Amino acid sequence: MIYSNTPRPESLKSLSDAIHVPFWLDDPARPTPRPLLTENISTDLLVIGAGFTGLWTALLAKEQNPARDVVLLEAGEVGTGASGRNGGFVDASITHGFLNGLSRWPAEIAILQKMGEDNLNAIEDTIKRLEINCDYCRVGEIDIATEPYLLDEFKELIELAKPYNIQFQLFDRDQLYEIIKSPIFLGGIKRPDSSLVNPAQLAWGLRKACLDLGVQIYEKTPVTKLEEENNFVIAHTLHGNVRAHRVALATNAFPPLLKRISYYIVPVYDYALMTEPLTSSQRDSIGWHGREGLSDGNRQFHYFRTTADGRILWGGYDAVYHWDNGFGPHLEQRPASFARLAEHFFQAFPQLEGIRFTHAWGGAIDTCSRFSPFWGTAHHGKTAYSMGYTGLGVGASRFGALVMLDLLDGRRNERTVLQFVKTKPLPFPPEPLRSIGIKLSQWSIKQADENQGRENLWLKIMNWVGLGFDS
């Protein structure tokens, strides 16, 4: 474990002016919210949740069938949940990485890799076709080794990926230093099938596209209850109801409207910082002119990237679960996590000592035990859901939306026949076992990072039964 968890006074000082608002949402281009629902209406398709999954569902539904009437309800404002709080990494993998997919669906990994690449290409094509200005960059992502054993793991990954024609690029210390200058980075492995985006701008661009196609969007309209009534599902809100033939649930880590989902999802809080814009000399001191997305390869990892105006986003490491699926705005600020992130930042980039952080924020990740999305239906097939992206939903959410529409329309195709789609993760146990198990997993992950990646008996058992914890 290379990082110290004891913040120095200088690191704490760097946070003194930071505002506790997600950087991406602190934008004068943020659209004015649409009116809330104040009457009873009917629709062919109701989408609940206006993050990436919901926006893609509404957009794809109208593109597949322009005559379909689509309503989108959002409890807050479009993109203000996880979709506006993440790092903006758009990964091609729909299985939370090649290794996770290979271990869980070995017979399907080749087609899952191909579907993920096609999905990323479709996202890029949509951004270009709709002229969404969201700083989309196809720059790849580099996983970084801060300890020698991680380089060995990277070499093993390359060998495992060869039969599937996945092109990883290995960097030694000198080669990586040409890309990013840090005294603690020993090498890395690059995945070309990854992009960066300004996630809020992408969400707002998809919002505009939905409106242009005739989707009715109501913001500040939380759904309080779903009720099946003959051939319809009724969504109850505070000031009006929606009577829908079909319902797509895209509520991510928010408390679910179907109790069964709560068995499979735990909201895990992740935190991030954003620096002020770097000066030209500061940027030259670290290199990184290619804007690659970066993350370290530890199990407790950081993710980091640059922005269009020359800032650095630095997030991750802590993954905080609160008793009984605790959720709410009061959990989005955690000074201890911000301080730890700042200290780690300056350990990685000591040449940037003195730079200030302008934004510090947190948000909930919809974590499931298989680390990748799952699907299901309710109300005799009239309601479908897609959940469990576990931190990689910016890209995979479009695929999740496609599968939801397949399920609602009763389509049997190359997606719906997959075990990946047909199966669900193992459920988390109820409290207090849920909290005990998660805390033990977190402690074990920390121990593995401090012991050359060696997993203890608890992690080995959890991996064997398929009950994991990640963010």
pLDDT tens-digit map of 87-142: 999 999 999 999 999 999 999 999 999 999 999 999 999 999 999 999 999 999 99
Q: How much is the pLDDT for 206?
A: 98
Token pair 């890799």 in the structure block, residue: 113
Longest dimension (CA), the chain: 67
Angle at 210 between CA 207 and CA 215, to 5 degrees: 120
In the predicted structure, residue 467 carries a pLDDT above the cut 90: no
201 membership: H or E segment, kind and range: helix 199-212
Contacts of 211 (CB under 8 A, 6+ apart): 217
Per-residue pLDDT tens over the stretch 320-343: 999 999 999 999 999 999 999 999
pLDDT of residue 224: 98
CA–CA gap between residue 75 and residue 81 (Å, rounded): 10
Question: What is the architecture of the domain spanning 41-98+100-125+199-264+370-422?
Answer: 3-Layer(bba) Sandwich (3.50)
Task: Mark 91-111 as b/e (b = at least 16 C-beta within 10 Å).
Answer: bbbbbbbbbbbbebbeebbbe
pTM assigned to the model:
0.97
Q: What is the pLDDT of residue 247?
A: 98
On average, the pLDDT of the chain sits at: 96
- What is the DSSP secondary structure assignment for residue 167, as one 8-state letter? -
Q: Return all residues near 99 (Cβ < 8 A) that are at least 6 apart.
A: 157, 160
More confident of the two residues 267 and 466 = 267
Fold of 9-26+141-192+266-367: D-Amino Acid Oxidase; Chain A, domain 2 (3.30.9)
pLDDT band, very low/low/confident/very high, at 409 (cuts 50, 70, 90): very high
pLDDT at 220 (0 to 100)? 98
**DSSP summary character for residue 147:** S
Confidence of residue 1 (pLDDT cuts 50, 70, 90): low
Q: Is it the case that residue 167 has pLDDT exceeding 90? A: no
Q: Give yes or no for residue 277 having a pLDDT over 60.
A: yes
Helix, strand, coil fractions of the chain, as percent rounded to 5: 35, 25, 40
Residue 263 has pLDDT above 70, yes or no: yes
Closest CA to 141 of 77, 201, 195: 195
User: What per-residue confidence (pLDDT) applies to 2?
Assistant: 82
pLDDT reading at 471 higher than 60 = no
358 SS3 class = strand
Residue 463: predicted pLDDT: 86
Q: Residue 283 is encoded by which pair of tokens?
A: 């940027």
DSSP for residue 427: P
pLDDT at 466: 80
User: In the prediction, which pLDDT does 470 show?
Assistant: 59
Q: What does the block give as tokens for 344?
A: 């780690």
Closest Cα partner for 181 from 255, 287, 266? 287
pLDDT(469) > 80:
no
Is residue 383 a contact partner of residue 245, using CB atoms and an 8 Å limit?
no
